[in-house]
C-alpha cells in the first residue's frame, strides 16, 4: 500500500513537470519581466513620492508584476496541455526509441551482467581454454544493431514524421528527415539488386495480364487494345515489384536472408576502398574487341545474357553495397542518438531511457553481475579441466 502511494505521488509529480517544459519561454518571460520591473523600480527611486509621475510609474510597476504572474501561469497551462497531449500522441515514438536503445545495449552486450560474463570468458581464454561461441552470442557493433532493427523502427518513425510533427521539436524533425533519407538510400540499393535479378525480365517483358481482371470487367478486357492492356499490366507488375521491396524491408527475416551475403557492419564500412582513391588507379581503356555486340538469337538467349550480366554486376558491387548500407546505418544510429538526447529532456520518458543509456557505465560490483561472473567462471573452470583431461 505504501509503495503504491509512493508510485502515484511520483507519477503525479512527473506529470506536473509537463507544465515546466520547455523552460526557454518560461525563463525568457521571467527575465524580461524582471528587467522591466527593475527598471521601473529604479525610476521610482529617483522620482519624488508626492509627484504624479511617481504614481504613474508605480501603476506601471504594479501592472508589470501582475502581467508577469498572468503570463507565467498562462504559459504553464499551455505547456501542460501541449505536453500532456504529446505524451498520448507520441507514445509509440517514445517507446520505439527506448526499445531501440534497450535492444542496442543487449546486442552490444553492455549490461553489467553481460560484461561480467564476458570477463569470465576472457579469463577462460587467457588460461588456455577454448569455447566456440555461436554467432548469436557474439557482441554486435552499432551498425549491425541498427540494421537488424530497421523493420521495427522505420514504420513508427515514418508515421511520427508524417502525422505528429506538431508535437516534435525542430531538431527531432530534422533528424527524422535524415533517417528517412538514409532509409531511402537503403531502399534504393535493394531495388537495384532486384532490378539486376532474373525477376526483372518477366516483369518488363511478360507482365501478368490476369491481374487486370481484378480491376476491369471481361467486356472491357475483351475489347481493350493489346498495347493498352500490355502497358497497364506492365505498370501493375512493376508496382508489385515495389511492394516486394517494401515487404523485404518490413520483415526482419526476409531482410536478413536477402542480404545474407553482404557485410553490413563496422567492418564492411571500414574495409571498403574505392578504386578511384588509389594512387595508381587508371581507368580501363575501352576495347571493342572485348565485347560481343551481336543480337541474341532468341528470347531465352537474351534472358540468359541479362541474368549473367546482372550476376556479374552484383558480385562486382558487393563490397560497395555493403559499405553504402553500412554508412547509412551508421548515420541513422547517430540521428537516433540525437533523438534520444531530445527525449531525455522530456519529463516522463527520460527516466526509462536514462537506465538503458547508463548501462555501459554501470558498475560490475552489483550483486547480479557478481553472481553471473561467479557462475560463468565455475562453469568455464569445469570445462577447462575437461579439456585438459581429454588432451
Which pLDDT score, from 0 to 100, does residue 32 have?
A: 84
Q: How confident is the model at residue 26 (pLDDT cuts 50, 70, 90)?
A: confident
236 and 365 co-located in one domain: yes
Same domain for 314 and 360, yes or no, is yes
Query: Which among 150, 144, 142 is positioned nearest to 182, based on CA atoms?
Result: 150
120 and 51 fall within a common domain: no
Contact 376, 125 (CB under 8 A): no
* pLDDT (0 to 100) of residue 27: 81
Number of other residues whose CB lies within 10 A of the CB of residue 141:
19
201, three cell numbers = 525480365
Q: What is the pLDDT of residues 285-294, one digit of tens each?
A: 655 555 555 6
Query: Domain of 83?
Result: 2-89
For 243, other C-beta atoms within 10 Å of its C-beta total: 10
Give the pLDDT of residue 157.
95
Q: Under a CB-based contact definition with an 8 Å cutoff, are residues 181 and 154 in contact? A: no
Cα-Cα end-to-end distance for the chain: 61
Residue 300 reports pLDDT greater than 90: no
Domain count, the chain: 2
Helix 142-163 and helix 170-195, axial crossing angle in degrees, nearest 10: 110
Kindly state the percentage of the chain with pLDDT values over 70: 71
Confidence of residue 190 (pLDDT cuts 50, 70, 90): very high
Is the pLDDT at 322 greater than 90? The verdict is: yes
115-129, 263-277, 317-331: segment of lowest average pLDDT: 115-129
Average pLDDT over residues 325-336: 95
Average pLDDT over residues 331-354: 79
Cα-Cα-Cα-Cα torsion 116, 120, 123, 127, nearest 10 degrees, comes to 180
Confidence of residue 156 (pLDDT cuts 50, 70, 90): very high
Per-residue pLDDT tens digits for 97-139: 888 988 888 787 766 555 656 665 555 566 655 555 555 667 7
Contact 112, 359 (CB under 8 A): yes
| Same domain assignment for residues 241 and 169 | yes
User: Could you give the maximum distance between any two Cα atoms of the chain, in Å?
Assistant: 111
Helices (H) and strands (E) in the chain, counts: 16, 0
- Domain C-terminal end among 89, 122, 156: 89
Kindly indicate the confidence band of residue 144, based on its pLDDT and cuts at 50, 70 and 90.
very high
Tell whether 139 and 238 lie within a shared domain.
yes
How far is the CA of 12 from the CAs of 8, 85, 218, in angstroms? 6, 16, 65
Domain end, chosen from 89, 116, 138, is at: 89
Please, what is the average pLDDT of the chain?
78
What per-residue confidence (pLDDT) applies to 304? 79
The pTM (predicted TM-score) of the whole model is 0.73
Amino acid at each position: 500500500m505504501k509503495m503504491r502511494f509512493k508510485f502515484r505521488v511520483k507519477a503525479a509529480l512527473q506529470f506536473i513537470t509537463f507544465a515546466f517544459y520547455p523552460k526557454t519561454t518560461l525563463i525568457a518571460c521571467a527575465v524580461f519581466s524582471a528587467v522591466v520591473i527593475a527598471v521601473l523600480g529604479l525610476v521610482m527611486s529617483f522620482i519624488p513620492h508626492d509627484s504624479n509621475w511617481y504614481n504613474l510609474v508605480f501603476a506601471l510597476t504594479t501592472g508589470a508584476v501582475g502581467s508577469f504572474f498572468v503570463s507565467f501561469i498562462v504559459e504553464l497551462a499551455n505547456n501542460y496541455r501541449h505536453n500532456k497531449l504529446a505524451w498520448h500522441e507520441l507514445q509509440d515514438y517514445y517507446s520505439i526509441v527506448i526499445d531501440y536503445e534497450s535492444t542496442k545495449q543487449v546486442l552490444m552486450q553492455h549490461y553489467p551482467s553481460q560484461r561480467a560474463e564476458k570477463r569470465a570468458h576472457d579469463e577462460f581464454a587467457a588460461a588456455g581454454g577454448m569455447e566456440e561461441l555461436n554467432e548469436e552470442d557474439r557482441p554486435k557493433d552499432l551498425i549491425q544493431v541498427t540494421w537488424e532493427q530497421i523493420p521495427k523502427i522505420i514504420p513508427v518513425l515514418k508515421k511520427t514524421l508524417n502525422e505528429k510533427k506538431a508535437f516534435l521539436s525542430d531538431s527531432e524533425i530534422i533528424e527524422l528527415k535524415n533517417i528517412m533519407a538514409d532509409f531511402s538510400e537503403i531502399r534504393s540499393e535493394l531495388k537495384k539488386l532486384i532490378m539486376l535479378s532474373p525477376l526483372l525480365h518477366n516483369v518488363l517483358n511478360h507482365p501478368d495480364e490476369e491481374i487486370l481482371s481484378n480491376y476491369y470487367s471481361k467486356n472491357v478486357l475483351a475489347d481493350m487494345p493489346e498495347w493498352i492492356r500490355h502497358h497497364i499490366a506492365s505498370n501493375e507488375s512493376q508496382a508489385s515489384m515495389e511492394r516486394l521491396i517494401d515487404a523485404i524491408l518490413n520483415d526482419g527475416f526476409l531482410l536478413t536472408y536477402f542480404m545474407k551475403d553482404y557485410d553490413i557492419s563496422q567492418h564492411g564500412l571500414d574495409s571498403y576502398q574505392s578504386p578511384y582513391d588509389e594512387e595508381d588507379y587508371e581507368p580501363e581503356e575501352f576495347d571493342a574487341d572485348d565485347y560481343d555486340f551481336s543480337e541474341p538469337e532468341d528470347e531465352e538467349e537474351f534472358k540468359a545474357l541479362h541474368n549473367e550480366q546482372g550476376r556479374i554486376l552484383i558480385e562486382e558491387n558487393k563490397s560497395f553495397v555493403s559499405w553504402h548500407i553500412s554508412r547509412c546505418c551508421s548515420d541513422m544510429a547517430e540521428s537516433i542518438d540525437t533523438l534520444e538526447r531530445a527525449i531525455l529532456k522530456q519529463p516522463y520518458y527520460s527516466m526509462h531511457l536514462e537506465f538503458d543509456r547508463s548501462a555501459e557505465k554501470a558498475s560490475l560490483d552489483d550483486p547480479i553481475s557478481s553472481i553471473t561472473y561467479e557462475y560463468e567462471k565455475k562453469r568455464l573452470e569445469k570445462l577447462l579441466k575437461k579439456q585438459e583431461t581429454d588432451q
